[in-house]
Amino acid sequence: MAIIDGMLQELDQEAQTTRKVLALVPDEKLTWKPHEKARTLGQLALHTAMIPGSIAELVASSAKTQVPNFTEPSPETASELVSTHDASIGKAKKLLSKMDDGAIMETWRLMNGDSEVFALPRVAVLRTVMLNHWYHHRGQLSVYLRELDIPIPSIYGPSADENPFK
């Protein structure tokens, strides 16, 4: 079993849960935000939907990459979220499945001009930025939905609204 295989299994499992959460975002609340400094619900949901494919593409593209130009796109409709998520997962799986153990253990460098921001093995970047970062934003999204009184599905066990063990 290659190192990437376990990560791809985790990606598949977590994608199902993220898809359930994204499907709950209502059209009429896309511009809602809990605080003036926060992203809107639409921006956060779209960011969450895009993370796996975007990070996989960044990490797979070369061993040395410039800091990307971060933007805050907003979806036009909530229906874009699940299709964007599905495309993002497909892109991530396609790119990552091509990585052998040598490639995934190779040092990946994020650069800001000539300055190195950080250098880590690709597997560490994928774990922290693609997966952990993704889970963090899915958690934020579930709090946004709770604030809007939208029932939250089970994520890692029972929520106040859904118990998969009953």
Q: What is the 3-state secondary structure (H, E, C) of 1-23?
A: CCHHHHHHHHHHHHHHHHHHHHC
Q: Rounded to a whole number, what is the distance in angstroms from the first to the last CA of the chain?
A: 35
Interatomic CA distance for residues 104 and 3, integer angstroms: 8
The pTM of this model reads: 0.95
Distance of CA 4 to the CA centre of its chain: 17
What confidence tens digit (pLDDT) does each residue in 72-99 have?
A: 899 999 999 999 999 999 999 999 999 9
Which residue from 81, 64, 84, 71 is spatially nearest to 125, judged by alpha carbons? 64
What confidence tens digit (pLDDT) does each residue in 129-165 have?
A: 999 999 999 999 999 999 999 999 999 999 999 999 9
What confidence tens digit (pLDDT) does each residue in 43-68 have?
A: 999 999 999 999 999 999 888 889 98
Is the distance from CB of 153 to CB of 162 less than 8 angstroms?
yes
Task: Write the class of the CATH domain 3-22+39-67+74-147.
Answer: mainly alpha
- The residue type of 67 is V
